């Protein structure tokens, strides 16, 4: 593991509802400086972000059905379509947690299929908000994602009572090949632990701080 490889797992994130244009500019310039994989931001900021990063390889990631997942499939489809129109490279959307807890698996499967077809070839990540789920529910969500062509399963929105854990990443990695850990990743030690557990992406608002403190954490 090298600083460069760690940087390429990081999706530097700004999803605060009060973020300003200056915050988005800082996000994009910071991500390019550290050579992160991408930035994750609301779709309203995609045109501004694209104008800043157009000469770089930085990916633009946005969200749909965020942060609760409790919007209709139709509304999520509209959000995904708008995100693609605005130039999103990847989209993270939130599963309907209530449906999962009620074991309404067919509506979840249908939603996943609709979104995958609509977004293709843009990769989708489904956020399952692990802090609200039992182990069985986490497995079910991952199995549904794997069966419907979802590219990644993501642990958390960062808006719930808890974020990514090593145990959740290890569990998810048993079922799906690509796991994005997010929520509560504030320091280099946590980032390294999650990567070692199997996370292939990290969603964090603390990217620069993580990179600055990496030398003491990489074996």
* Strand ranges (E), 65-200: 90-94, 124-127, 152-154, 179-182
Q: Active site includes 219?
A: no
Exposure of 159 by Cβ count < 10 A (0-12 exposed, 13-18 middle, 19+ buried)? middle
Q: Active site includes 187?
A: no
The reported pLDDT for the residue numbered 216 is 63
How remote is the C-alpha of 210 from its chain's centroid?
Answer: 17
Q: Which of 92, 125, 138, 168 is catalytic?
A: 92
Q: Which of 76, 125, 138, 154 is catalytic?
A: 154
The reported pLDDT for the residue numbered 217 is 61
Residues of the chain predicted below pLDDT 50: none
Q: Which of 76, 125, 138, 180 is catalytic?
A: 180
Q: Are 173 and 195 in contact (CB under 8 A)?
A: no
For the chain, domains (ranges, CATH) are 3-213 (3.20.20.70)
**68 to each of 27, 43, 206, 219, how far by Cα in Å?**
24, 16, 23, 37
Q: Are 25 and 52 in contact (CB under 8 A)?
A: yes
This prediction's pTM: 0.95
- Reported for 205-209, long-range contacts at CB under 8 A and 24+ positions apart, including other chains, are 205/12, 205/13, 205/14, 205/15, 205/158, 207/10, 207/12, 207/13, 207/30, 207/31, 207/34, 207/36, 208/12, 208/30, 208/33, 208/34
Q: Active site includes 180?
A: yes
pLDDT in tens, 41-81: 999 999 999 999 999 999 999 999 999 999 999 999 999 99
119 phi, psi to nearest 5 deg: -80, -25
Q: Which two tokens stand for residue 218?
A: 């990489």
């Amino acid at each position: 593991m090298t600083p460069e490889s760690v940087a390429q797992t990081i999706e530097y994130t700004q999803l605060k509802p009060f973020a300003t244009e200056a915050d988005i500019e800082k996000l994009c310039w910071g991500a390019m400086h550290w050579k992160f994989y991408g930035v994750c931001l609301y779709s309203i900021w995609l045109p501004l972000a694209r104008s800043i990063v157009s000469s770089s390889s930085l990916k633009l990631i946005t969200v749909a059905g965020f942060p609760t997942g409790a919007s209709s499939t139709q509304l999520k489809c509209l959000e995904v379509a708008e995100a693609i129109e605005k130039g999103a490279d990847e989209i993270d959307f939130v599963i309907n947690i209530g449906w999962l807890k009620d074991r309404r698996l067919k509506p979840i499967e249908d939603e996943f299929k609709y979104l995958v077809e609509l977004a293709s070839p843009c990769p989708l990540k489904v956020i399952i908000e692990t802090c609200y789920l039992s182990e069985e529910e986490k497995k079910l969500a991952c199995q549904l994602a794997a069966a419907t062509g979802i590219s990644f399963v993501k642990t958390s929105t960062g808006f719930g009572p808890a974020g990514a854990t090593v145990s959740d990443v290890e569990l998810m990695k048993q079922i799906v090949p690509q796991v994005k850990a997010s929520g509560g990743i504030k320091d280099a030690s946590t980032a390294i632990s999650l990567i070692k557990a199997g996370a292939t992406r990290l969603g964090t608002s603390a990217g620069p701080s993580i990179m600055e403190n990496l030398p003491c954490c990489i074996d």
